[in-house]
Structure 1
Amino acid sequence: MGKKIRVLIIDDSASVRQVLTHVLEQDPDIEVMGAASDPFVAARRIQEEVPDVITLDVEMPRMDGITFLRKIMAQRPIPVVMCSSLTEEGSETLLQALEAGAVDVVLKPKIGAADHLAESGMRLREAVKGAAAARLGRAPRPPIAMGTTAKLTADAVLPPPTGRAMAKTTEMVVGVGASTGGTEALRVMLEALPANSPGIVVVQHMPEKFTAAFAKRLNSLCEVEVKEAQNGDPVLRGHVLIAPGDRHMMLERQGARYHVTVRDGPLVSRHRPSVDVLFRSAARAAGGNAMGVIMTGMGDDGALGMNEMHQAGAYTVAQDEATSVVFGMPKEAISHGGVDRVVPLEQIAREILAADRRRH
């Protein structure tokens, strides 16, 4: 077995520190090297031993998590996963954390809620593994196997596509999947698109209630209109729909028009929303009228779905290793044989526009 990922937990609640330690140490690849009640205690601990990953609470006495995060990133960058309570008010703060250099944001596991503890615990362990593999201006650690937990495929939500590619029509729809590092990568991609771009549907792995603030933030920066998807929303040119956290999003077609269905369901590829679910629905509903884009992220969500899109006649693109924070999801999609082109992040918007021009 390789070297364990050593994690430092920073949270002002003793019970939360205990739960986080218990949840993380269920994974044999993770070791909690210590827990600190505030950033000042943590700073002294880091002077003794530098952790591979830090889990950081947002609201703490003496110094808030964002201020501490900025200090870490300025002085000695260490991959940081922000652990937050589920509040809409806190979503804006968490966006600031991602902009300040946090690798990922997860919800704190709830004590006493067994189902929530199992799902949020798995999400926390995956976030820590993704952070350990993240590229922070230095050589990344090799990706770590995601363990042997049973993992559902898109079969749990949608039956497999028939494999018959749909004849091309005039409108193209773009399906995008991203995870660790994806919030910043999506901003770069969407900011480069003009207001008349093809309709885009996005799955970015992130917690419930956080996606609305994320979409609002992107909307303020981009020429395209960006919003959190609601059930039945049409997919329109110049518009981007982002799957709400904790809900699957599927593309559907009525006549020549596309819309999205947003619904509950089991975790697929250990995620809800799942990229595999979105991509499979795009293969079924749009076939050769679709384009698939898979971006930075830990794990393999989207690899099977992108292959299904590719087989249905869609044009498929993956972000390259050099510009990915974690090259897990693009690498898996490439290895499954479903990727037509591998490009740097800055080129993805150009690929979308070029594919759109080829249709007209």
Structure 2
Amino acid sequence: MDSGPPSQTDEVDDRIKVLVVDDTVTIRRLVSNALDAEDDIVVVGTASNGRSALSKIEQLKPDVVTLDVEMPDMDGLQTLAALRDARSAVPVIMFSTLTARGARATIEALALGAADYTTKPSSGNITESMKLIREDLVPKVRSLAKRKAGSRSPRRFVPAAPTGDQDKPEVKQPSIYELKKRPIQLRRAPIVARPVDIIAIGVSTGGPNALSVMLPQLPKSVEVPIVIVQHMPPMFTSLLAERLSTHCNIPVVEVDTPRPLLGGMMYVAPGGRHMVVERRGQDKWLSLNDDPPENSCRPAVDVLFRSVAQEYGAGVLGVILTGMGHDGMVGCESICQAGGRVIVQDEATSVVWGMPGSVASGGFAEAILPIEEIADEITKRSAYRSPHRSSQSKDESE
């Protein structure tokens, strides 16, 4: 049976209010107990199907909704579509099984505007399941509730310094907390445009929707290789690449085995494995490894970006989109030290301004742009490319 709001609702207005929607009573109880254990979060209600959820969202005004993908009467996708038709701004986290069907539905939900997703615990052990929810779901609830409340401090921008060595800046690594307190200073762009030989993109929370907006805008004339890390588990990345490829002018593939890096292609790192660029003879290849996670992520943006900086130097254009955490900041530092360039998504159009915000606060971004303008910026910059390095097939033909 669905539960209503707790009697102490009026006393917890300062806490993050969550509505848990799932057709399985065990999952509703598990998620509710895990969230209620947090001092700053309260579950104000639960629902067993989409119709009940829509009514309770209107009644309870939650800050965040966790939404099951597969439910009777009205499933998660139908519920999400109804919310968006009603212009509801409540952030939705999809709760999905780690199956092909669940993954496909989750990718569809993210494209429809769901803010994020998490996979349901597969273990029958309650302790392990609670730990997974605390580690995966709770941080997402906090980040999304913060965005909805508009509680982020306005960021102050400082023009780029008029002098200094921009190719290899001397940068100390402050803590993320120190970076967030700093005014943002844009990195000075070089006077002479550098050839772009590769585009490297890093993205996490809100990424599938951001990519579905940005990548289809890229024309076929962008002939350099594009490498992408989207934080997702196995199977999800394959379905993401498949969906993107049907909407893009440039082919998109998941890298499941080592392969030559060619121009006019977009490559998505597989869930659960790091992707790196390496030299094999005169050619560049994409390879995979199972090295430990970095920033609690595998694939990690930092891993890819460091390898790209090493192999392409000043020919790299790094792009950091919406995402929680700070993966990509160290990689962007490597790109800047090698003479490459970095742009990031702005705060207003990001679901979570963690990754792009840390890069901008670190002083590594030349430009901070809304997601709708990033494709045009990439297209302009890639026009100044080195023709003989746009793809290996062209190298070989020359």
Bin of the TM-score, shorter chain as denominator length: 0.7 to 0.9
1:338 correspondence with 2:364:
yes
- Structure 1 gap ranges (5+): 144-150, 152-168
Contact 1:319–1:345 (CA under 8 A) maintained in structure 2: yes
- Deviation sequence 1:209-267 (CA, Å, 0-9, x none): 11111111111111111011123122211101111122222222224422222233433
Contact 2:22–2:67 (CA under 8 A) maintained in structure 1: yes
| Partner residue, 2:161 | none
What amino acid does structure 2 have at the position aligned with 1:127?
K
| Pairing partner for 1:187 from 212, 232, 242 | 212
1:275 correspondence with 2:301:
yes
Secondary structure (helix, strand or coil) at the match of 1:318 reads strand
CA distance in 2 between counterparts of 1:267 and 1:4 reads 32
CA distance in 2 between counterparts of 1:119 and 1:202 reads 26
Aligned length: 334
How far apart are residue 121 of structure 1 and its match?
A: 4.3
Secondary structure (helix, strand or coil) at the match of 1:110 reads coil
CA distance in 2 between counterparts of 1:267 and 1:23 reads 25
- Deviation sequence 1:51-90 (CA, Å, 0-9, x none): 1000010111222111111122222331101110011123
Contact 1:107–1:120 (CA under 8 A) maintained in structure 2: no
**Residues 311 and 206 of structure 1, relative CA distance in 2, 3 Å threshold:** same
Q: Under a length normalisation based on structure 1, what TM-score does the superposition of the two structures give?
A: 0.83
CA distance in 1 between counterparts of 2:331 and 2:39 reads 29
| Partner residue, 1:98 | 110
How far apart are residue 311 of structure 1 and its match?
A: 1.1
1:142 correspondence with 2:152:
yes
CA distance in 2 between counterparts of 1:280 and 1:26 reads 39
| Pairing partner for 2:199 from 171, 174, 179 | 174
CA distance in 2 between counterparts of 1:216 and 1:231 reads 16
CA distance in 2 between counterparts of 1:43 and 1:357 reads 48
CA distance in 2 between counterparts of 1:299 and 1:85 reads 24
| Pairing partner for 1:229 from 255, 263, 288 | 255
**Residues 19 and 357 of structure 1, relative CA distance in 2, 3 Å threshold:** same
| Partner residue, 2:29 | 18
What amino acid does structure 1 have at the position aligned with 2:198?
V
CA distance in 2 between counterparts of 1:115 and 1:177 reads 30
How far apart are residue 181 of structure 1 and its match?
A: 2.0
Residue range with higher mean Cα deviation, 78-87 or 331-340:
331-340
What amino acid does structure 1 have at the position aligned with 2:59?
E
Aligned-pair identity in percent equals 40
CA distance in 2 between counterparts of 1:170 and 1:73 reads 42
Secondary structure (helix, strand or coil) at the match of 1:286 reads helix
| Partner residue, 1:29 | 40
**Residues 25 and 314 of structure 1, relative CA distance in 2, 3 Å threshold:** farther
CA distance in 2 between counterparts of 1:240 and 1:272 reads 19
What amino acid does structure 1 have at the position aligned with 2:235?
K
| Greater Rg over alpha carbons, structure | 2
Residue range with higher mean Cα deviation, 283-292 or 210-219:
283-292
1:325 correspondence with 2:335:
no
RMSD value over aligned CA atoms?
2.8
**Residues 254 and 354 of structure 1, relative CA distance in 2, 3 Å threshold:** farther
| Partner residue, 2:80 | 69
| Partner residue, 2:53 | 42
- Deviation sequence 1:109-162 (CA, Å, 0-9, x none): 223467786456422223323432456xxx74439xxxxxxx9xxxxxxxxxxx
Residue range with higher mean Cα deviation, 210-219 or 41-50:
41-50
**Residues 266 and 109 of structure 1, relative CA distance in 2, 3 Å threshold:** farther
Contact 2:96–2:103 (CA under 8 A) maintained in structure 1: no
CA distance in 2 between counterparts of 1:287 and 1:26 reads 48
Secondary structure (helix, strand or coil) at the match of 1:358 reads coil
Contact 2:97–2:103 (CA under 8 A) maintained in structure 1: no
Contact 1:20–1:109 (CA under 8 A) maintained in structure 2: no
What amino acid does structure 2 have at the position aligned with 1:97?
A
- Structure 2 gap ranges (5+): 1-12, 154-175, 177-193, 387-398
- Deviation sequence 1:279-332 (CA, Å, 0-9, x none): 222222322222110011222121121112111211111112233232221111
| Partner residue, 1:163 | none
Contact 1:175–1:279 (CA under 8 A) maintained in structure 2: yes
